[in-house]
Amino acid sequence: MEVLRQLGLEETVWGHVPPSEHWRRFRYCTSLLGDDLAVMDHFRTEEFKFLGSLSPCRVAQLSQPILENILSEAANAAAESSGAKVLTGHIVQDLAPRSEDGGVNVTIRPTNGGPPTTVAAQYVVGADGTRSAVRRALGITSRGEHDMESFASIHFTSRELGKRLAKDRRGAMLSFVFSPDVLGVVVSHDLRRGDWVIHAPFFPPAQSLEDICGTEEACIEIIRQCCAPMSTHKGAEDDPLRDLELHSVRAWGMHATCATSFAGMGNRVFLAGDAAHQFPPSGGFGVNAGLVDAHNLVWKLAYTLQGKAGPSLLASYDLERRPVIEDALSVAVDNYRRGLLPARAMGLERNLVATAVSMLGQGGATLPWAGDLVSGMLTVGKQHLRSPALVKSRVKRVVEEDQDALPLLFPRTDKGFRYFPEAGGVARPASSPTSTPRDLSPSEFWLKPRLKRGTQTDIALGTSPGQALPHAWILERDSNLRLSTIDIISAQLPAYTLLYAMPSIWRPALETLHQKYGKAKTDRVLRGVALVPLQSPDGTTGDTGDFKEAVYVYEANSPWEQLREISERGALLVRPDGHIAAQLAGPSSSTPSASPRDLSHDILDVLEELELRINCN
Ligand SMILES: Cc1cc2nc3c(=O)[nH]c(=O)nc-3n(C[C@H](O)[C@H](O)[C@H](O)COP(=O)(O)OP(=O)(O)OC[C@H]3O[C@@H](n4cnc5c(N)ncnc54)[C@H](O)[C@@H]3O)c2cc1C
């Protein structure tokens, strides 16, 4: 959401978000209209309270196709205003390095069957999903846990069902259905539109998609059992599924994998999103991680193309993003195991079935009775569900009392990471497990210790290099508008920000740079922003001379006083993606007379260390 806020899209997104009452809970139930076994309200957790102080953005649920439309409209508008061309309806077939200038030739083919053509690119970003052709062309493999689980996903709509659940105040983002007849997870995309997807597990190669969803009738039967079995309503007129429309059925496999590198061809080609990493849905990290990949990469490409940066800037993409992703993957796998605990408490051992399938091996699993064996095991497992009272008390303990089932909010994973390329990784709390995912045997899978509770609120906020600029509420001095510190970083003008509390110290240094290189050139790399205490004379006086800088103020006792971690004489150099590049100490209070020239040298020294150049064409 913070990335979308920076792009000016936050309000548009909120225009589509359903009321939180419709999605703030996870339900564990016998069917959507049946009995609740347990309910987890994620707005009553420590993580939710903590998030409120961590970000100006609120948590939202939005279905992916709607978000993709919003992003695609924004991308088309940006392309139109900048003269760029968006080419759709083409498939990337292959890439080849170009010896003349180090660029990349990309072979593309129209999807309607025309002949292939070649595009001469300077840089390529492969955001082409799990089966990435770009990743394949680079010869990069993925490491981690492949084929953790397989699901049939059934997409359907029923407004009547949505209305009934909204009226009964039983809306939930996820409903885990456990009944002797069916096991499945029902995802509610929007109760108002009655838009749903059911994910029902199956066990290939002993079972296939056709075995469980081979006909329309079989799919409708699964939908009915998960949502509204006949026992939950009085006849056809009362049937909440009377307007049911089945849209699609497909199989998907769950993986927790990460590409061994996010860059190739000498940092001319990059991988982002699912092309670089595949998350299990447990945690909802997939889209978020892809957005942050892009947020990390695009300004680096712009700086490099404009000649403002040396090669280390683009090289930092892989060094920064991959460890963050590996850390998030370990959280997602932990979530997945946590998500199985309620079923386990009911005596449903998913892993026993998975172990039986793996014991049969590839050959054995295709024997005619292999599918029957799996169905038989599942039927035996589901017998426990015929004693709802016993099951209910066990599930309630895991979900509501111990809060040891699948969580929804992950402040540390989403917000608490720190880019730390020097150490080849991210700084992470000691309680975090080893990061690199790898294949685990079924017994290892369960024996691996789970993450400690509370890990997600264990974040050190601050302004060390690599950390995200922390959020605190501030005011824009001229308009008195209430903003966040993170709003200081503009997406419209991607430049580093020199953020200081004492303009009288830092303005002259910037003016020296303006005189040396010209204001326009300096501003393209680095702009000054003042964030001053409300009572400070620096905050209330007007700008000096030609120097126009944005001025923000913070009130007395603002959390910013602690969060900024530097003295009020210092300055922070913040990257265009909001991560801290450097802390500059400024003159000490005992030698306040450091000349503007000295400080401009300090700034230039830091820029040189970062391989950034103001003096470029
Ligand atoms: C069941 C399920 C539930 C999920 N739930 C969540 C969730 O709650 N939250 C969340 O954040 N994430 C979730 N995800 C993950 C999320 O859907 C993905 O992480 C996300 O779609 C990745 O976006 P992407 O753009 O990288 O890849 P994709 O969405 O796969 O897009 C890739 C694009 O590249 C195009 N393409 C492919 N090959 C080529 C080629 N050769 N040439 C040109 N174009 C090509 C494709 O047509 C497509 O448009 C879920 C995933 C699944 C399966």
Q: What residue segments make up the domains of the chain, in order of their start?
A: 17-84+142-257+326-455, 473-609
pLDDT at 104: 98
Atom of ligand 1 nearest to the CA of 130: 30
pLDDT score at 537: 57
For residue 357, report the distance from its CA to the centre of ligand 1, in Å.
28
User: In the structure, what pLDDT confidence band is assigned to residue 424 with cuts at 50, 70 and 90?
Assistant: very low
- Contact predicate 377/353, CB 8 Å: yes
Burial label, 368 (beta-carbon count in 10 A; 0-12, 13-18, 19+): exposed
pLDDT recorded at residue 447: 60
Which of 161-170, 315-324, 439-448 has the weakest average pLDDT? 439-448
> What does the alpha-carbon distance between residue 539 and residue 556 come to, in Å, rounded to a whole number?
13
Question: For position 362, what pLDDT does the model report?
Answer: 65
The better pLDDT of the pair 82, 236 is held by: 82
Enumerate residues lining ligand 1, CB below 6 A.
64, 91-92, 127-129, 133, 153, 252, 273-275, 281, 284-288, 290
The residue assigned the tokens 């964030």 is 531
pLDDT in the model for residue 608 = 93
pLDDT score of 541 more than 80: no
Q: Mean of the pLDDT values across residues 521-532?
A: 93
Output the CA 274–ligand 1 centroid distance in Å.
Answer: 6
Whether the per-residue pLDDT at 322 is higher than 70: the answer is yes
pLDDT beyond 90 at 65: yes
Which residue did the predictor score with more confidence, 537 or 336? Answer: 336
Choose between 616 and 60: higher pLDDT.
60
Q: For residue 520, what are the contacts with CB-CB under 8 A and spacing of at least 6?
A: none
CB 248 within 8 A of CB 155: yes
Interval 38-47: pLDDT, tens: 999 999 999 9
Between CA 107 and CA 125 the distance in angstroms is: 14
Q: What confidence score (pLDDT) does residue 589 get? A: 75
CA of 129 to the centre of ligand 1 (A): 5
Has residue 190 got a pLDDT over 60? yes
Options 3.40.50.2000, 1.10.540.10, 3.30.9.10, 3.40.640.10; which CATH number does 17-84+142-257+326-455 get?
A: 3.30.9.10
Q: For the chain, what percent of residues have pLDDT higher than 70?
A: 91
Quick one: tokens of 489? 């970083």
Position 235 scores a pLDDT of 76
The pLDDT of 304-320, averaged and rounded, is 93
Q: CA-based angle 269:80:301, to the nearest 5?
A: 25
Burial class (CB in 10 A: 0-12, 13-18, 19+), 448: middle
Q: Answer yes or no: is pLDDT of 438 > 50.
A: no
- Check pLDDT > 60 for residue 598: yes
Q: Whose CA is nearest to atom 46 of ligand 1?
A: 128
Q: Which one is predicted more confidently, 150 or 494?
A: 150
Q: Is residue 423 predicted with pLDDT exceeding 50?
A: no
Q: Find the range with the poorest average confidence among 55-69, 212-226, 241-255, 582-596.
A: 582-596
ipTM value for the complex: 0.98
What band does 431 get if pLDDT is binned at 50, 70 and 90? very low
Q: Which residues lie below 8 Å from residue 25, measured CB to CB, with a gap of 6+?
A: 39, 40, 41, 42, 171, 172, 173
| Whether the predicted pLDDT of 595 surpasses 50 | yes
More confident call, 121 vs 367: 121
Closest CA to ligand 1's atom 45: 128
pLDDT band of residue 529 (cuts 50, 70, 90) is very high
Weakest-pLDDT range from 25-29, 146-150, 331-335, 423-427:
423-427
Look at residues 448, 414, 439, 421 and name the one whose alpha carbon lies nearest to residue 328. 414
Ligand 1 site-directed mutation target among 42, 64, 124, 131, most atoms within 8 Å of CB: 64
Mean pLDDT taken over the chain: 89
Look at residue 591 in the predicted model and tell me its pLDDT.
Answer: 67
Q: Cα–Cα distance between 220 and 234 in angstroms, integer?
A: 19
**pLDDT at position 427, please?**
40
Q: Residue 435: what pLDDT?
A: 43
Whether the CB-CB separation of 440 and 447 falls below 8 Å is answered with no
Amino acid sitting at position 193: R
Q: Is the pLDDT of residue 425 over 70?
A: no
Pocket test for ligand 1, best of 128, 252, 408 (most atoms within 8 A of CB): 128
Segment 141-168, tens digit of pLDDT: 999 988 889 999 999 999 999 999 999 9
Mean pLDDT, to the nearest integer, of 418-424?
Answer: 65
Which CATH code for domain 473-609?
3.40.30.120
Smallest CA separation from ligand 1 atom 4, residue: 281
What's the pLDDT band for 430 if we cut at 50, 70, 90?
very low
Closest residue by CA, ligand 1 atom 16: 286
**Residue 352, pLDDT score:** 77
Q: What was the pLDDT predicted at 365?
A: 66
